[in-house]
Structure 1
Amino acid sequence: MVQIQVTRDPDFDETVALPSYETAGSAGADLRANFPTRGEVVLAPGERVLVPTGLRVGIPKGYEIQIRPRSGLALKHGITLPNSPGTIDSDYRGPLGVIVMNAGQEPFTIAHGDRIAQMVVAPVVVAQFDLVESLDETVRGTGGFGSTGRG
């Protein structure tokens, strides 16, 4: 198990739950909106907003946190995260906000304390990039950028 340190910003509501796994098999911990005014925001169709969580996280070196949409909000209301998955790097210590977008047909209200996204803790592999004269051959080769597998 990986330990993620969490602090709250001083002006935010301490009664809003910390990120939590809702079931024993959950890969993502739910993140909640934490508005300093304890209010809400209404997103018109096509609109996006940065929703504060009131949290800051300390991620161990060698890990990242990926921020992902909640499938129920996406299916039922068209609520998504336009930069999904968003990445929080292990050296970031600023406020954790979630960019939420309404891709649906109706206005959508995000209320204080609502579950808005999920965060997945993942290991990071650091690569070395080497300039070479040519690449090895594969069956796919250079074809198929964006291929759907259809003729």
Structure 2
Amino acid sequence: MNLKDVILFEIVSSFKNKNINLPKRQTSFSAGYDFESAIDFKISPKTIFLTPTGIKSCFNKDKVLMIYARSSLSLKKSLMLANNVGIIDSDYYNNLENEGHIFIPLYNFSDKEIFVFKGERIAQGIFQKFYLTNDDNLKNMSRNQKNKVRKSGFGSTDVDHQKRDQ
């Protein structure tokens, strides 16, 4: 494997020895790697639950991991991804706050409690290459942007804006 093509899944340290599975494709033609819930839980009606997967992913900086709902999620469970599509950037891996743990925000749009069990497939991830515009380069970035290091996820790059807007 060429180093520029490194893509792998790992179990985060807090879920080691907890009998969870790495994401996998279900058929040879599947584009998506199925993510499972790492715990049993219930979601109350009209609420969001941040579902731990116990998984992190390492991949090159020219790739992104897109997280989508499985097609059966809404039909069988009355659940959807609260953020519609999750975007996992390469610098999320091993961040200081949560080790790059991939969480799936599920929204229960029904009027009843929904139970999800450990090992239940809840989302699928697809790796994609992304491109930059011709004028997107380090010369156009401020010193703060160039030196910025991701410390966490879920809105972590908005932290400066949140402080400004308060």
**Could you say which TM-score interval applies, normalised by the shorter chain?**
0.7 to 0.9
Q: TM-score of the superposition, structure 2-length normalised? A: 0.69
CA contact (8 A) 2:82 2:107 kept: yes
What SS does the corresponding residue of 1:127 show, helix, strand or coil?
Answer: coil
CA distance in 2: counterparts of 1:106 and 1:3, whole angstroms? 42
Q: CA deviation at 1:5?
A: 2.3
CA distance in 1: counterparts of 2:45 and 2:27, whole angstroms? 31
Q: CA deviation at 1:3?
A: 3.7
Aligned residue in 1 for 2:24: 20
**Amino acid corresponding to residue 17 of structure 1 in structure 2:** N
Write out the 4+ residue segments of structure 1 that deviate beyond 6 Å after TM superposition.
none
Aligned residue-pair number: 126
Give the helix-richer structure, 1 or 2: 2
CA distance in 2: counterparts of 1:127 and 1:80, whole angstroms? 32
Instruction: Pick from 7, 12, 33 the counterpart of residue 9 of structure 1.
Output: 12
- Percent identity of paired positions between Structure 1 and Structure 2: 30
Are 1:121 and 2:124 an aligned pair? no
CA contact (8 A) 1:64 1:88 kept: yes
- Which is higher, the Rg of structure 1 or of structure 2? 1
Q: TM-score of the superposition, structure 1-length normalised? A: 0.75
Aligned residue in 2 for 1:99: 105
CA distance in 2: counterparts of 1:29 and 1:56, whole angstroms? 13
What value does the CA root-mean-square deviation take over the aligned residues?
Answer: 1.9
Structure 2 residues not aligned, in runs of 5+: 94-99, 137-166
Are 1:68 and 2:68 an aligned pair? yes
Give CA-to-partner distance per residue, 1:57-93, whole Å, 9 cap, x none: 1121111001111111112222110212110001111
What SS does the corresponding residue of 2:25 show, helix, strand or coil?
Answer: coil
